[in-house]
Amino acid sequence: MNGYGFRLVARMEWIKLRSVRSTWWLATATVVSMAAAGAGVGLGYRSHLPAATAAQILNNSLSGAILAQLLLGALGVLMVTGEYGTGQIRSTFAAVPRRRTVLAAKAAVCGGAALAVGVVGSLAGYLGGQFAIRGTAIPAASLGDLAVLRAVLLTGGYLAATALIGVGIGAVVRHSGAAIGTLFGLMFVPMVVVGLFGESGIVVGRFVPLLMLLNSVAVTSPVPGLFAGWLSVLLMGGYAAVAILCGGMLLRFRDA
């Protein structure tokens, strides 16, 4: 049993992930919520005066990522806490005593799945907005435009990073409700705090997840003062790495 390598452990985690009903519910809800947000934005702009620009439609069509980040973050949390809740984690660690290997496999599998779902969701949001404005004078936003394609792909990357943050929080907290609550707080509370400082908070705001999403990642061009979209996604990846490293350290010293 001690001979399980990373590849085999990752395969085991993939089987677990796709065999749990909540995985499919959260993935479906992610795509549907982003598609609905995109379509709602497009319908809202059909009769809007002055007519919206292609960039405005795209930026707002990806706003469904606000909810999607919580759904995929919850997926990451449940990847870890689900086993603690059922007691299955004891069997997992009995089969694979190297706990950090288990956590790394969970992160790799969850990150890959969340990236795929996040990109599909982003495309759904984009297409929802574009279909809703068909037949109007509003110009379309083409994926052939690198700025548009970048926003769609980076939004998917941001969502994947959020799922990985969820994995790390799940490993630290180990309780589903508390971990999801912690994730919610980390996503939204910093934005409220930064908002209290008005425009002077832009320097700190560039490090706040939700502000990065709305003003740097899911837009064709970042708001002045914020990081470029790809830098914001890398920063989210850094947050995820810290969360997972903390979870890995705690796994070594705590009982299952």
Mean pLDDT on 53-81: 94
Distance separating alpha carbons of residues 7 and 27, to the nearest angstrom? 24
User: Over 60: is that where the pLDDT of 2 sits?
Assistant: no
With cut-offs at 50, 70 and 90, classify the pLDDT of residue 4: confident
Distance separating alpha carbons of residues 235 and 228, to the nearest angstrom? 11
Helix (H, G, I), strand (E, B) or coil at 16: helix
Mean pLDDT on 119-132: 96
Residue 193 pLDDT: 85
Count structural domains, the chain. 1
Assess if residue 1 is contained within a domain: no
Residue 200 pLDDT: 62
Residue 53 pLDDT: 87
Runs of H (alpha helix) within the chain = 6-19, 21-45, 54-61, 65-86, 88-95, 99-132, 146-173, 176-195, 202-205, 209-212, 229-253
Task: Report pTM.
Answer: 0.93
DSSP conformation letters of 171-200: HHH--HHHHHHHHHHHHHHHHHHHHTTGGG
Distance separating alpha carbons of residues 166 and 113, to the nearest angstrom? 13
**Phi and psi torsions of 76, nearest 5°:** -65, -40
Assess if residue 101 is contained within a domain: yes
Amino acid letter, residue 66 = I
With cut-offs at 50, 70 and 90, classify the pLDDT of residue 45: confident
Assess if residue 185 is contained within a domain: yes
Mean pLDDT of the chain: 92
Residue 201 pLDDT: 64
CA 251 to chain centre: 24
% of the chain surpassing 70 pLDDT:
96
Whether the Cβ atoms of residue 40 and residue 129 lie closer than 8 Å to each other: no
Residue 256 pLDDT: 60
The predicted-structure confidence for 152-200, as pLDDT tens digits, reads as follows: 999 999 999 999 999 999 999 999 999 999 999 999 998 888 877 766 6
Helix (H, G, I), strand (E, B) or coil at 223: coil
User: Over 50: is that where the pLDDT of 1 sits?
Assistant: no
The predicted-structure confidence for 200-225, as pLDDT tens digits, reads as follows: 666 788 899 999 999 999 999 998 88
Owning domain of residue 136: 6-253
